[in-house]
Chain A
Amino acid sequence: MPVIEISNLRKRYGETVAVADVSFTVDSGEIFGILGPNGAGKTTTVELLSGLRRRDGGTVRVLGKDPDRDGAELRELVGVQLQESELPERIRVSEALELYSTFYREPADWRELLDVLGLSGRRNARFGTLSGGQRQRLSIALALVGDPQVAVLDELTTGLDPAARRDTWALIESVRNRGVTVVLVTHFMDEAERLCDRVAVIDAGRTVAVDTPAALVAKVQAEHGLDRATLEDAYLALTGHEIGV
């Protein structure tokens, strides 16, 4: 059963067409990746499906609801981690999590999240004193504190060290094992290959492919007569680049 259905999505900012024609569906319990070059429209797409912006055209259904119309209901059910969104400088880690947990009718246990994300040792630290990776982990925790059915994570591992990335992957898998559908935007091909059941590749505001990482690799191998292509090769080919051998 699809949890997210997007077809022919369009959005422009003044003269800039950020999203020209994006379509994909995400099934229940899937980890779905969105890949694409800088400025391709990935963030805009997830903002539109989270109800943070209103679309100019196309249809969007999330858990059967329209984000432009049923935004209030969806905010209970969808947890969002935005690219470049901070907290007040002087708020403490535990304060932020406890505060955000009161925003939801049936929140997750924020203390457990603190442990799972390895932030227990920093619970009394002020946001302003956290490292980039710690901020990122807190941000993921805040997206999950409402115990959402869908988690939307924009560039969730950007700025994390390799160990923290692995930990975050494990976290995302455990979140999915609890039945949460995950949509993540990433620039890391290893991350997409390792985590995502399926990915959409967006280029210049259009979906150019939606498939499993393995199928995308198989296709580029067949088309270019390669025998050992990677997801990165497939990605580069799909976004209009020559692929070096």
Chain B
Amino acid sequence: MTTAVTRLTIVESKLFLRDTTSVVMGVAFPAVLLLLLGFAIPGFREATDDLDGLRPIDIYVPIVLAMAICTTSVSVLPTYLATYRERGVLRRLATTPVGPVRLLGAQLLVNGAGTLVAVALAVAVGTAAFGVDLPRQVPGFLIALVLGTAAMFAVGLLIAAVAPRAKTATGIGMLVYFPMLFFAGVWTPGPVMPDGLRRASDLTPLGAASQAMQDAWSGAFPSALHLAVMAGYLLLAGALAARFFRWE
């Protein structure tokens, strides 16, 4: 059974890598966006008083990481799973000793790894191209990254669970994707986010993840509120996904 699970994971990784859209949008885009922001937008590399002496590019690194999480979790993952269900891939697996649950596990692993590579690439670009410091609160950053990713993957699983068809999963994914990015601060980065919006953002999984990573970057441990929100989404969306997921 271990060889079967290993092979399944290897094959799923290959399939992910053959899917140019997932690789470009999920893995490469966050780093590319950072490069575009830093080099193409005037003033992005200059410290400003609005950001307590930081440069916009410093603030955008954790936001771009949140985007990396968002793309794999609500765009790539649910589409894959719903497609597998629609095409009967899960049903075929149900006739073998391995069963469909392990394919779900392999998908989570592959998308999780893709997210981590996207994060590493973006951090490397930030450091190498723009001299952005690494997070000052490393354990806090890692906790925020992992918990935020897990919470968003649970949301992705829930989308795959409730969507009857692959197209619906993609559609719901998009409906969730842009508001999530908005709350994560892609258009109004953390420090300049209006108060009301920030309070709403605190309560979304990606907003909480983005702010928790931002805090860890500047040296503060993530707040209890953000950790609780992420854990809450992980448990609630995870439980609902398990409750509603259908293999066919």
Contacts and interface: CB of A to CB of B under 8 A. Distances in A.
Interface of A: 50, 52, 72, 75-76, 78-80, 82, 84-88, 90-91, 95, 98-100, 102-105, 142, 146
A87 B19 CA distance: 15
Interface string B1-38: 00110011001001100110000000000000000000
Contact of A85 (B3, B89, B99): B89
B85 to A, nearest CB: 11
A72 B11 contact: no
B19 A90 contact: yes
B18 A102 contact: no
A76 B99 CA distance: 11
A72 B101 CA distance: 14
B87 A87 contact: yes
B232 interface: no
A103 B98 contact: yes
Contact of B15 (A76, A91, A142): A91
Contact of A91 (B11, B88, B97, B98): B11
Contacts of B98: 103
B92 A104 contact: no
A194 to B, nearest CB: 26
B84 A85 contact: no
Interface string B79-103: 0000110011101101111110000
Given A84-B88, A85-B89, A99 B7 contact: yes
B96 A82 contact: no
A75 B95 contact: yes
A124 to B, nearest CB: 13
Given A75-B96, A99-B7, A102-B4, A82 B14 contact: no
A76 B97 contact: yes
B91 A90 contact: no
Given A88-B15, A88-B84, A82 B4 contact: no
A86 B99 CA distance: 15
A113 to B, nearest CB: 15
Interface of B: 3-4, 7-8, 11, 14-15, 18-19, 83-84, 87-89, 91-92, 94-99
Nearest to B17: A90
B11 A95 contact: yes
Main secondary structure of the interface of B (DSSP, over half): helix
16 contacts: A75-B95, A75-B96, A78-B95, A80-B95, A82-B88, A85-B92, A86-B89, A86-B92, A87-B92, A88-B15, A88-B83, A88-B89, A90-B19, A104-B97, A146-B96, A146-B97
Nearest to B2: A102
B166 to A, nearest CB: 11
Q: Which of B3, B19, B84, B88: most chain A CB closer than 10 A?
A: B88
B14 A95 contact: yes
A98 B89 contact: no
Contact of A103 (B15, B83, B87, B96): B96
Nearest to A126: B18
Contacts of B84: 88
A100 B94 contact: no
Task: List the 5 shortest-distance A-B pairs measured between CB atoms, nearest first.
Answer: A85-B88, A80-B95, A86-B87, A103-B98, A85-B92
Contacts of A88: 15, 83-84, 87, 89
A158 to B, nearest CB: 15
A72 B94 CA distance: 10
Contacts of A79: 95
Nearest to B95: A80
Contacts of B99: 75
Nearest to B8: A99
A103 B91 contact: no
A87 B89 contact: yes
B92 A82 contact: yes
Contacts of A99: 7-8, 11
B83 to A, nearest CB: 8
A100 B83 CA distance: 19
B168 to A, nearest CB: 18
A72 B97 contact: yes
A100 B96 CA distance: 8
A82 B91 contact: yes
A76 B91 CA distance: 16
